[in-house]
Amino acid sequence: MKSFNIAAYISGSGSNLKSVIQNSFKGVIASKVKLVIADKHASGLDYPASLGIETAVISRAELTRSEFLKMQSELLKKHKIDLIILAGFLKKLPDEIVSEYKGRIINIHPALLPKFGGKGMHGMNVHKAVIEAKEEFSGPTVHFVDEIYDSGEILLQRKIRITAGETPESLQKKVLEIEHTIYTEAIKLLEEKES
Ligand code: GAR
């Protein structure tokens, strides 16, 4: 089975990252998370750091563009990263990284893309928009990342029915629970494809 060296990019609590790490420990996937990069001091860095996984905060605001790129590039090379997973990462990856790792970057989004994607569509904003639009279904999407927000080829999607009285909060809870299995499934699919 192909085993990827994974780098995860996060901005928040990192529950998706945690589920991938735990599924890797359980042997559900052969790949291993080697590196976690955040754009700020995200609480989701604590779990991987406690396991000895290298973590880094690389904030565009504190660096020149070339320093910003160089820091990421060097870490990705150091850990021989061959799969990047965006796990609640709210910034856009630099185009240079997207083109260098094309076909090897995936993202998880909490709605049924191509609906409810694009700039500003993240986390609770997405669930609010879905409820306001009176959608019948929602659910997470895992897709390849290209230069345009949320537009790359879809790898996996899981649909759930929105029940009467659903709130953005209740929907977020249901979708996140599915995210915690679907992201690992997507990585497994990529492992199988390369075996
Ligand atoms: C997840 O619901 C993920 O789908 C979403 O952010 C949350 C991160 O949660 N991502 C986006 O909205 C990207 N557009 P986590 O930090 O607990 O994994």
Domain boundaries, the chain: 5-194
Q: Are strands 105-109 and 83-86 parallel, antiparallel or unpaired?
A: parallel
Please identify which of the residues 109, 122, 127, 143 carries the catalytic annotation. 109
Q: Are strands 32-38 and 5-10 parallel, antiparallel or unpaired?
A: parallel
What is the pLDDT, as a whole number, of residue 148? 87
Q: Check residue 143 and give its pLDDT.
A: 98
User: Tell me, what's the pLDDT at 65?
Assistant: 95
Predicted pLDDT of residue 188? 98
Closest CA to 47 of 63, 24, 64: 24
**Is residue 170 within 8 Å of 141, Cβ to Cβ?**
no
pLDDT at 36: 98
Distance 88 CA to ligand 1 centre (A): 4
CA of 112 from ligand 1 middle (Å) equals 13
- Per the CB < 8 A criterion, the answer to whether 164 and 90 are in contact is no
Q: What is the pLDDT of residue 46?
A: 98
Q: Write down the pLDDT at residue 119.
A: 87
CATH number of 5-194: 3.40.50.170
Which atom of ligand 1 lies closest to the CA of 126? 12
Residues lining ligand 1, Cβ inside 6 A: 10, 12-16, 44, 87-88, 108-110, 121-123, 126, 176, 179
Contact at 8 Å (CB) between 63 and 42? no
Give the pLDDT of residue 40.
Answer: 96
For ligand 1, atom 11, the nearest C-alpha belongs to 122
Alpha-carbon span 105 to 6, nearest angstrom: 10
Tokens 């396991």 appear where?
A: 51
pLDDT value for 62: 86
Q: What is the pLDDT of residue 17?
A: 98
**pTM beyond cutoff 0.85:** yes
Task: Flag residues of the chain having pLDDT under 70.
Answer: none
Shortest-distance atom of ligand 1 to CA 15: 17
